[in-house]
Amino acid sequence: MADYSESIAAVKKYIDDHLTESLNLGTLAQAAGFSVYHFSRIFDAYTGVPVMKYVKARRLEKAVILLENTGCGVSEIAHRCGFNSISSFNALFKQRYGKSPTDFREAKDGKNPAEESNFPEDTVGEMPHTPEKSFLMRIWAMNVEIKQRPAVRVAYFRHTGSYLETGANWNRLLAWAGKKGLFTARPLFIGISHDDPATTEEDECRHDACVTLPAGFAESDEDGVGYATIPAGQYGQYLFYDTIDKLAIVFRALYTEWLPQSGYALDDRPALEINLNNPAEDPERKGKCLVCIPVKG
């Protein structure tokens, strides 16, 4: 079983030790030894909360301690807890605890707001993962195949925005591939989602619509097309057939239910969506694809 509890515990300690600093997904992913994309999903799977929400909660909890046990001014406490502005600190504190930092300090009612919080307790390694021999795990074992995939060279067009609005970008790629005569080579059409919508604003999420290229293809800079190599490696491969809005649910289930019990560790390669149909041509407007999670071990 892949156990990331030590990595998550190390990240939590890093957060506590660096609360006054500017913390972002890249810094925290580096501390955990993951790519940004994979890190946010693993942290969420093990703790039940997005990592940046966890950071805000730890900063507020430290602020409570300082308000109760020091005479520091609210502005200094905000700074010592890593908040860039007193207004954002006041707003977040009141949103969580129901009163401003000043009102909380003046009330001195003997209650610790942290005790009334609905924020999850520190439960690293204690998330209710599906037992290895449970019914659900047997279902996963029947439906997820470990597959070695070769390296492929691809051309791609990038969409920045909601993952639910990638259709126009796919049409752009299809038109380009047709113009280049690529359909005769029976290419694969592969989607790569670079961001986790749980931690990245929806309009900032990046998705690449890719087509595999035959040997000897003459690459040229035109029409905004990019080129990349998807490296070879093992994948946990799940056959998906549903409306595209369900893809996010499948990805989360694979990371939180299948992966921890699979016996495999996550590898630092992008997850893939290998398309097997065009949803626009499906009678039920559903997409059929292989969802591929990169693994090793």
List the pLDDT tens digit at each of the 297 positions of the chain: 456 777 888 899 999 999 989 898 888 988 887 877 788 888 887 788 889 899 999 999 999 999 988 889 999 999 999 998 899 999 999 999 999 999 998 885 445 444 444 444 444 444 444 444 456 666 767 789 999 999 999 999 999 999 989 999 999 999 999 999 999 999 999 999 988 877 778 888 899 999 999 999 999 888 789 999 999 999 999 999 999 888 888 888 888 788 877 888 888 899 999 999 988 899 999 999 999 999 997
- pLDDT in the model for residue 123: 41
Up-side HSE of residue 269: CA atoms within 13 Å toward CB?
21
- pLDDT in the model for residue 196: 80
The sign of the CA dihedral 26, 28, 29, 31 is positive
What are the residues whose beta carbons fall under 8 Å from the beta carbon of 63, sequence distance 6 or more? 77, 78, 81, 89, 93, 101
Domains identified in the chain and CATH numbers: 5-116 (1.10.10.60), 141-296 (3.20.80.10)
Query: Cβ(234)–Cβ(267) under 8 Å?
Result: yes
The span from the first CA to the last CA of the chain, in angstroms, equals 10
- Rounded (10°) CA dihedral 196, 289, 225, 36: 20
Angle between helices 5-17 and 25-32 (to 10 degrees): 130
Within 10 angstroms of residue 221's Cβ, the number of other Cβ atoms is: 8
